[in-house]
Structure 1
Amino acid sequence: MSPSQTLPLGTIRTEQVWKRFKADQQRMLLRDKVDAMARRLRGEKGEDWRWALRDISMHIEPGDSVGLIGSNGSGKSTLLKMLTRVMYPYGGVIDVRGRIGALIEIRAGIHPDLTGRENIYLFGALLGLRRREVATRFDDIVEFARLGGAIDRQVKFYSSGMQMRLGFAVAAYLEPHVLLVDEVLAVGDAVFQQRCLDRMREVAEQGTTIVFVSHDLPAVESICRRGIWLEQGSIRVDAGIKEAMAGYRDSIEAQSEAGGRTGEPIQLLKHEVRGEERESLTTDEPMTVELTLGGDYRGDATLHLGVSEGTSSPIFQISHEVRLTGGDRRVSCVIPRLPLPRGRYTLWAGVYSIGRTDGGTLMSWHSTGQFDVFGPMLDSPPRAVVLAAPVFVPHHWEE
């Protein structure tokens, strides 16, 4: 794009962006260590560097809502900080057009020696708003942040939760063209997190561009239409939010399955998930899970089964006490009416001894594989709800 071309307000554009930090040898990726070793073998001098971002190119249109997902250390927060110009790239081009409202740290944009009131007007001035424009939004900001009489107290005397509420309210209510939000929302309580998510949906519907970083995948999926999955500083997937989430979840599950549980007293030798007709599972019809456990452990234990949509937190979990006598043991669990809608799910299993004070892990909680369910889709939730309820409930209506 030539310099003479003007991008619309709310546009985010990055081209071949690279970012590096001086390396912490214990945290360097293997390929960075290999590169450093090769340089030393060639006799080249200089510091070893860790690349946090590698060749990031993306174009976000005005009004898009984008979720940045990925594991810790994948580069999400670094990219967000460069979009706010807190950091600058080693190489490449970053162009963000319009006013930016950002919440990337608890105190981001908040001066501790000023009062809450003074901070609101200061932030507005930095965004280029006139004092009367800020005044028209002042009451909404104070009400949303639930600060009351504390608005005229110096911010350095606020709790971390109060600072976060003020920071988000200011960023979200002063009508930015681009709203950037990092995982910092996790500091707030569940009620305030819900209110923040609702406000993010409102500003998205008003045409504000949103970039949201969070490990709360259902929250990201409920707000964002597009997902960018970062892995080791590179874009792995840039697609619709469901496609990006599916790829990321598959990666999490594959890592769990490959992690290995050697040395544990109990091993899962075999498992099978089948429906009434064996080859498929259907909503509201029977599901059978058959496990074969192996090991020399003898004693009472509890077998836990869970079903999730990608993370280790199950949609539902079932437990059963078993007596293990050494050797192989086959256990079956039958669910008469499967309460899951159409989709792909993950089965989890774990075995723990009974009566042990140390927790008695015999087989740690882990993913055993995926299965597909055929049946109805869930109804779409109203915009005020974080996400669709994950369980299908058979029902009918009468009037």
Structure 2
Amino acid sequence: MSNIVLRVENLWKQYRLGLIGSGTIRDDLARFWAKLQGKEDPTLKIGETNDRNIIEGEYVWALQDINFEVKQGEVLGIIGKNGAGKSTLLKILSKVTSPTKGKIYTKGRVASLLEVGTGFHPELTGRENIFLNGAILGMTKNDIRKKFDEIVEFSGIGKYIDTPVKRYSSGMYVRLAFAVAAHLEPEILIIDEVLAVGDAEFQKKCLGKMKEVSGEGRTVLFVSHNMGAVRNLCSKAIFMEKGKIAFQGETNKVVGRYLQNTNENLSGIFEIGKKTADGTVIIQKTIFKNKEGKITNNLNFGDDLSIELYGYAKERLEKPYFYFDIESQHGFLAGAYSLLDGWRPEYIEGDFVIKCTFKNLRLLPQIFTVWFGMRDKSGGHTLLGYTEVGNFLLTSTPEEMSLKSEIAGSFVEILSPYLMEYQWEKVK
């Protein structure tokens, strides 16, 4: 098909653990010569085999039987846990490393942004690196000069363009690298999780540029742990797990499968069994409920999260202070602090239940962790330190996320704590 710009067929990649080559140039040459003659590897120990279909011993398959294709103008999201093989796949597509077996067909030039500083010479200035990267992509000096001012303006580091890039911060590296990759007009643009280094404003700018690039008929491959950005940007997605493609297809379905697969406990009930430092109070369990009061930790965009914390106090404890924090993979998002909010139960004694409800969760779809802490009536003495008491999975549809249709990436995640309401309640 003429509109297919990238096709991957039966792609495998194997690495040898702990070693590079055979250890000596002589052994590497002997292995290479034997391979040319179709003979067995002469460096193998007795009883070993070079059958690459076996996954054991000193070898590991980073990728196994990868097959997919991408059409012109499509934006493909690639998601999965750390170690799933995403970066290895992109390195092979970028020709940084070669596959063990399999074939890759590409049409047009490929520009990659894989790691901070990849493709930049540290001793050269930003200006010189722009021309170097353009030359690598096969562009002429005149072509690069036409784009130069646009690249510098987009990067926002014009003041430092004649400074050697070894003096750049990681954020400056990413700004310039993305500007170069996006503006030198490659037919295929490959972006790894490097955008996480940039600030929220620059992430929004980059995601907007990627949309613009795809609208011009160029193809984008985008790896990210930010499910909101993937949903906002990508028309199709691939979910990778343990070096294989676990699921691929329409973005919302793939993201939903990934989020459910990575959230082990969907029951909404978490056994804690954590005691305070002096042993007088034990936190037994938490129960998570949605807006309808159903016990679950699988929530939708805009839903309420009610956390019921069950505990037992051996002695009467006057006016204790509680707090709940919500965190994403990027860090703290929102917190409820009973001391600051002026809500304090008169006491807890025996069995007790404390309820805190976070209303209208306008957060990016992903897994969030809930932490709990407890202090005495003064608020100055910690009874129970920062303790994980559960997690919840937030999913959504494009319609439910219309609120943030014009705000990409983690920007909504930054704004959302200021839009969130919560309330405390002592059940008994």
Q: Name the TM tier (shorter chain).
A: 0.7 to 0.9
The letter of the residue matching 1:267 is Q
Q: Structure 1 residue aligned with 2:136, among 92, 102, 126?
A: 126
The letter of the residue matching 1:366 is G
For residue 186 of structure 1, report the CA deviation from its aligned partner.
2.1
For residue 216 of structure 1, report the CA deviation from its aligned partner.
2.1
Distance 1:278 1:148 in 2: 54
**CA gap 1:258/1:86 in 2 versus in 1, 3 angstroms:** farther
Q: Contact (CA 8 Å) 2:372, 2:388: kept in 1 or not?
A: yes
- Equivalent residue, structure 1, for 2:251: 241
Distance 1:362 1:381 in 2: 31
Q: Contact (CA 8 Å) 1:290, 1:330: kept in 2 or not?
A: no
Q: Contact (CA 8 Å) 1:147, 1:162: kept in 2 or not?
A: yes
Q: Contact (CA 8 Å) 1:297, 1:325: kept in 2 or not?
A: no
- Equivalent residue, structure 2, for 1:152: 162
Q: Contact (CA 8 Å) 1:7, 1:97: kept in 2 or not?
A: no
**CA gap 1:278/1:74 in 2 versus in 1, 3 angstroms:** closer
User: Which aligned pairs between 1:61-100 and structure 2 lie closer than 5 A?
Assistant: 61-100=71-110
- TM-score w.r.t. the length of structure 1 is 0.74
- Equivalent residue, structure 2, for 1:364: 388
Q: Contact (CA 8 Å) 1:180, 1:212: kept in 2 or not?
A: yes
User: Which aligned pairs between 1:1-399 and structure 2 lie closer than 5 A?
Assistant: 8=3, 11-23=5-17, 43-44=47-48, 48-254=58-264, 261=272, 265-268=282-285, 270=287, 272-273=289-290, 275=292, 289=306, 291=308, 293-295=310-312, 299=317, 300-304=320-324, 318-320=336-338, 325=348, 327-333=350-356, 339=360, 349-354=370-375, 355=379, 360-361=384-385, 363-367=387-391, 377-379=400-402, 381=404, 383=406, 385-386=408-409
Distance 2:301 2:248 in 1: 31
For residue 304 of structure 1, report the CA deviation from its aligned partner.
2.4
**CA gap 1:344/1:178 in 2 versus in 1, 3 angstroms:** closer
The letter of the residue matching 1:96 is T
The letter of the residue matching 2:352 is R
- Equivalent residue, structure 2, for 1:29: none
Distance 1:69 1:230 in 2: 6
Q: Secondary structure at the match of 1:74?
A: coil
Distance 2:396 2:200 in 1: 31
For residue 277 of structure 1, report the CA deviation from its aligned partner.
11
Q: Secondary structure at the match of 1:143?
A: helix
How many matched pairs?
362
Distance 1:288 1:146 in 2: 40
1:112-137 Cα distance to aligned partner (Å, 9 max, x none): 23332222222222212222221111
**CA gap 1:323/1:146 in 2 versus in 1, 3 angstroms:** same
What residue ranges of structure 2 are gaps of 5+ in the alignment? 20-45, 51-56, 276-281, 339-343, 420-428
Q: Contact (CA 8 Å) 1:283, 1:340: kept in 2 or not?
A: yes
Q: Secondary structure at the match of 1:360?
A: strand
Q: Secondary structure at the match of 2:203?
A: helix
Which moved further from structure 2: 165-174 or 248-257? 248-257
For residue 86 of structure 1, report the CA deviation from its aligned partner.
0.3
Distance 2:218 2:386 in 1: 51
**CA gap 1:384/1:312 in 2 versus in 1, 3 angstroms:** closer
Which moved further from structure 2: 214-223 or 62-71? 214-223
**CA gap 1:52/1:149 in 2 versus in 1, 3 angstroms:** same
Distance 1:209 1:64 in 2: 5
For residue 75 of structure 1, report the CA deviation from its aligned partner.
0.9
Distance 1:278 1:118 in 2: 59
Percent identical residues? 32
1:83-136 Cα distance to aligned partner (Å, 9 max, x none): 101011112112222111111012222122333222222222221222222111
Q: Contact (CA 8 Å) 2:369, 2:388: kept in 1 or not?
A: no
**CA gap 1:156/1:83 in 2 versus in 1, 3 angstroms:** same
For residue 194 of structure 1, report the CA deviation from its aligned partner.
2.4
**CA gap 1:359/1:96 in 2 versus in 1, 3 angstroms:** farther
